Structure 1
Amino acid sequence: MKPSVTLLLGVALALSGCFASREARIESDYSYNGNFRRYRTYDFVTGDGLASDTSHIGTVLREAIQSRLRIQGYKPARRRPDLLVNFRVFEGNLRFQGYAQEDLTTWIKNGLVEDDETPKEERQPYKPVRLLLTDGTLLISLIDNHTNRAVWNGYASGVAVPPGPQGEVILRRSVRSIFDQYRIFTEGYINSDR
C-alpha cells in the first residue's frame, strides 16, 4: 500500500515542528518573595497588548496556559485571584536580565519564603545574568496579585512560529516547555479528587 501524499506531508510538518521547538532556549527565574505554597487561583492581566488580544495567537496562548495551570491544580478566578498571568511574544533579539538560582522546587522544599520582615543578612542574594534571547521569545510572567510583584518568569527564546496550524502546535509546545520549569502544584491537589 502506498502512503498518501497528505500523510507524508503531515509527518514532515510534525517533525519540522519538533525540530523548531527543540531549538528554543527555555529558562525561568523566580522571586524569593514568592509564597508559592499559598497560590491556588489565577486570572489573566487585562489591558492593552497581546494579553488582551483576541487574535487567534492570543487565544491559543491563553488556552495553552489555562490548560497547564488546570493540570497543576490552579483554578481560574475573576475576583481577587492569587496570581495574575501575563504573556508576551517578542520579535527580534532581546537583551534580558535573568537570575542564576537553584531549582524552584528545591527552594520550596526547603520551606524558604522571604518577605519585607526577613532580616537582610538572611536574604538570598540575586545573581543577575545578562541573556541575549533570540528572535521569537515567548515570556510568561506570574504576578502575586496581593503584592503586585512578579514572582516567576518563564521564557522560550528562538521559537519559530510559522503561520497556520503548525504555528499553534509550536506555541502549545513552547508553553508546555516553559511550565515544565514551574512544577508547582497547588497544596493538596495531588491528594484531592480534583
Structure 2
Amino acid sequence: MKLSVPFWLGLGLTLSGCLASREARIESDYSYAGTFRRYRTYEFVTGSGLAADTSKTGEVLRDAIRTRMKVQGYRAARNRPDLLVIFRVFEGDMSFRGYAQDDIARWVNNGQVEDENTPKEERQGYRPVRMILAEGTLLITLVDNHTNRAVWNGYASGVTVPPGPRGEVVLRRSVRSIFDQYRVFTEGYLNGNEGQGTHN
C-alpha cells in the first residue's frame, strides 16, 4: 500500500554515516485532524522496507509495537483496521521538521478535532520547528486508514543498535519510549470496557 505523507510531517531527510552511540532524543507530532477517540484497531503496512522485512530487526520492532498497542487497548485487525503502522530506522544525521504542540493527551481529552468545516479562526495552526537529529533515528507513524493520512509521528534519535541480544533490548526500549509520547488508550479500556474509542 502506498501512502502519501501529509505536509505536517514535512520530512527533509539528510542521511549519512551509521548508527552512533548517543543518548536518544524522543519527540512526537500529531495531526489536529486525527479522530483519536474513534481508533480501536491497527495493522502494519505491507510493502518494501522494514515493515515487510522478515529479518530479526523487523520482527523485534513489530513485536515491540504490538506489545505496546495491546497495552493501550488496541487490537490487531487485518480487515479494515482503523490505524496503519509504519516504522523505519534511518542511519546517519537527519534534518527533521517537527511541530510545537500541546500534549496529545490534553488535545484528545478536550475532544477536539479539526476538519474542513472548522472555521479558520478556530484552527490551531502548525508551528514548525527545525531539528537536526543525531545519528540513527527510529521513526514510527500511525496512519488513519480511512483518510489515508498520517495522524501521529513518534521518533527516537541517537539510537545505537548493537548486534545480537543487546540490539533487541535497545529497539524494544526505543519503541516503549516513543509510545510514551502517545498516551492515548482506547476508550473504556482502563475501566475494563475495551474498544469504544480513545481517551487518556
Give the TM-score taking structure 2 as reference length. 0.85
The whole-number CA distance in structure 1 between the counterparts of 2:113 and 2:40 is: 17
1:160 corresponds in structure 2 to: 160
Q: Identical aligned pairs, as a percentage?
A: 73
The whole-number CA distance in structure 2 between the counterparts of 1:108 and 1:169 is: 31
1:54 corresponds in structure 2 to: 54
1:117 corresponds in structure 2 to: 117
The answer to whether the Cα contact below 8 Å between 1:60 and 1:168 also exists between their aligned partners in 2 is yes
The answer to whether the Cα contact below 8 Å between 1:86 and 1:140 also exists between their aligned partners in 2 is yes
- Counterpart secondary structure, 1:102: coil
1:13 corresponds in structure 2 to: none
Write out the 4+ residue segments of structure 1 that deviate beyond 4 Å after TM superposition. Answer: none
Instruction: Report the AA paired with residue 192 of structure 1.
Output: G
The whole-number CA distance in structure 1 between the counterparts of 2:132 and 2:99 is: 13
Greater per-residue helix proportion: 1
- Counterpart secondary structure, 2:86: strand
Residues 125-184 of structure 1: per-residue CA shift (max 9 Å, x gap): 100011111111000000000011100000000001100000000000000000000010
- Counterpart secondary structure, 2:37: coil
1:170 corresponds in structure 2 to: 170
2:104 corresponds in structure 1 to: 104
1:8 corresponds in structure 2 to: none
Instruction: Report the AA paired with residue 41 of structure 2.
Output: T
- Counterpart secondary structure, 2:59: helix
Structure 2 gap segments, 5+ residues each: 1-19, 195-200
- Counterpart secondary structure, 2:89: strand
The whole-number CA distance in structure 1 between the counterparts of 2:153 and 2:79 is: 23
1:9 corresponds in structure 2 to: none
1:93 equivalent to 2:93? Answer: yes
Give the root-mean-square deviation of aligned CA atoms.
1.4
Residues 25-53 of structure 1: per-residue CA shift (max 9 Å, x gap): 00001000011111000000110111111
1:81 equivalent to 2:90? Answer: no
Q: How does 1:25-40 map to 2 (within 5 A)?
A: 25-40=25-40
The answer to whether the Cα contact below 8 Å between 1:21 and 1:173 also exists between their aligned partners in 2 is no
Residues 41-66 of structure 1: per-residue CA shift (max 9 Å, x gap): 00001101111111000000000000
The whole-number CA distance in structure 2 between the counterparts of 1:101 and 1:173 is: 24
- Quote the offset at 1:110 in angstroms: 1.5
